[in-house]
Amino acid sequence: MATEIRILHTSDLHLDASLRAAGIASARARERCAAHLEAFDRVVAEAAHVDAHLLLIAGDLFEGAHTRPSTVRHVARQLEKWGRPVFVAAGNHDPIRDDCVYGLADWPANVTLFRGTWEACALPQLGLVVHGRGFTEPEEHGRLLEGLQLEGVGRHIVVAHGSDESSRPDRHQPYRPFTSAEIDAVPAVYVALGHFHRFAELPTRRARAVYCGSPIPQGFQDTGTHGVVLARLQGDRVEVELRALPARRFIALRFDVTAAETHAEVVERVSAAMEEHALQEDFVRVHLEGALPPDLEVDRAGLRDALAARVHDIEVYDETFPEYDLDALAQEGTVRGQFVRTLSERMQAVEGTQRDTLQRAIFLGLDAFAGRPQRR
């Protein structure tokens, strides 16, 4: 029996996901699909590089019906070439059932696809028993660990897709929930989890329970370091390491352009601020904030063109608002002037939050007069 067992753990590749939801123009979608498949290849290359004994894939490997058969065949062939044991527990984006994405390829003998009920697979030469279950529907709400019984000789490893109830990020559906306490009731040494896209280790007392996260960020919501998890087992001791993989980052930047007087100044200020970041390889989302003169409108397309050479891809969001000259507006002999005079008088009569509310009401009203979006 090997003294150290090396387990590589990945999940949430969402191969061939449509990236519109991540806010990337469709011209980039094909490139991102290629990047995700390349990330899968890097995971397999990493398995060879670290001389892993087995690979665990904790769900959402594919993006269900969006996945092309050629992608599924590529995955199956790569895993076959690597040749060591691979265990796949399907997730809510690639549920395993009749007529599903996994049926698009012939799977080699070294790949075990777990089905909808807990199954165990013994690896006596490694002294391990691997337990897994997959999603069979896109939405499953039962407790994740229900029905799991760890029997057999060896150290127990669990691979599954589900939601830790104490740390669920907002955008993730609470499918197949569990708690750290429920994991503590299971005599496993390592629990390989998928569903959340960020690396995280749960505060368990017995088994190491780890979300490996997506190997590369899938969009602007995926911040932090991404990669693949290497778990090293020695006896009952487990060391966990997140090994970063190269990837384009998704970076959102906020710039306050208050008091810029011309559009050229807006461009110059954003451009100078962006120079401080090395963004050449990255997807960048720029949010412009602050107050601008009412006659100065942000030219989003122009700004995008001016900044395009500094980044891989850029989107510009204009969240600025006009800085109205209330004294000048109050002089106008118009409905707008009357509106400003009336609310300004009321403002003089009150204090504190009431005053702030009226101030905001004036600005919102003026935005409405100007047909501007209401951003305040």
Structure-derived torsion over alpha carbons of residues 309, 310, 311, 313, reported in degrees to the nearest 10: -40
Residue with Cβ nearer Mn ion (164 or 313): 164
Exposure string of 141-170, with b = 16+ CB inside 10 Å and e = fewer, is: eeebbeebebeeebbbbbbbbbbbeeeeee
- Strand partners of residue 56: 9, 87
By CB under 5 A, residue 282 contacts Mn ion: no
Mode of pairing for the β-strands spanning 190-194 and 208-211: parallel
Stretch that binds Mn ion, among 61-69, 146-154, 189-197, 254-262 (CB under 5 A): 189-197
Q: How far is the CB of 105 from Mn ion (least distance, A)?
A: 21
Residue with Cβ nearer Mn ion (136 or 271): 136
Stretch that binds Mn ion, among 56-64, 115-123, 200-208, 311-319 (CB under 5 A): 56-64
The HSE-up count of residue 323 (CA atoms within 13 Å, CB side) is 11
Tell me, what amino acid is at 184? Answer: D
Q: Cβ distance 316 to 302 under 8 Å?
A: no
Stretch that binds Mn ion, among 79-87, 187-195, 257-265, 342-350 (CB under 5 A): 187-195
Q: How far is the CB of 198 from Mn ion (least distance, A)?
A: 13
By CB under 5 A, residue 163 contacts Mn ion: no
Tokens linked to 108: 């080699």
Q: How far is the CB of 114 from Mn ion (least distance, A)?
A: 15
Residue with Cβ nearer Mn ion (60 or 318): 60
Stretch that binds Mn ion, among 178-186, 191-199, 267-275, 366-374 (CB under 5 A): 191-199
Residue with Cβ nearer Mn ion (91 or 132): 91
Helix (H, G, I), strand (E, B) or coil at 147: coil
| Burial classification of residue 189, based on how many CB atoms lie within 10 Å of its CB (0-12 exposed, 13-18 middle, 19 or more buried) | buried
Stretch that binds Mn ion, among 42-50, 58-66, 264-272, 283-291 (CB under 5 A): 58-66
Residue with Cβ nearer Mn ion (90 or 286): 90
Q: How far is the CB of 211 from Mn ion (least distance, A)?
A: 11
- Strand partners of residue 231: 7, 240
Looking at residue 108, the DSSP 8-state letter turns out to be P
Residue with Cβ nearer Mn ion (82 or 199): 199
Q: Cβ distance 215 to 224 under 8 Å?
A: no
How many residues lie near Mn ion (CB under 5 A)?
4
Query: What residues numbered 75-104 form the site for Mn ion, per CB under 5 A?
Result: 91-92
Q: Cβ distance 182 to 164 under 8 Å?
A: no
Whole-number Å distance between alpha carbons of 332 and 348: 19
Residue with Cβ nearer Mn ion (158 or 286): 158
Q: How far is the CB of 113 from Mn ion (least distance, A)?
A: 17
Q: Cβ distance 60 to 14 under 8 Å?
A: yes
Whole-number Å distance between alpha carbons of 332 and 354: 25
By CB under 5 A, residue 60 contacts Mn ion: yes
Answer positive or negative: Cα dihedral of 207, 7, 13, 250. Answer: positive
- Binding residue for Mn ion, selected from 9, 195, 198, 226, defined by CB under 5 A: 195
Residue with Cβ nearer Mn ion (213 or 322): 213
Stretch that binds Mn ion, among 55-63, 147-155, 204-212, 297-305 (CB under 5 A): 55-63
Residue with Cβ nearer Mn ion (195 or 208): 195
Per CB under 5 A, residues contacting Mn ion are: 60, 91-92, 195
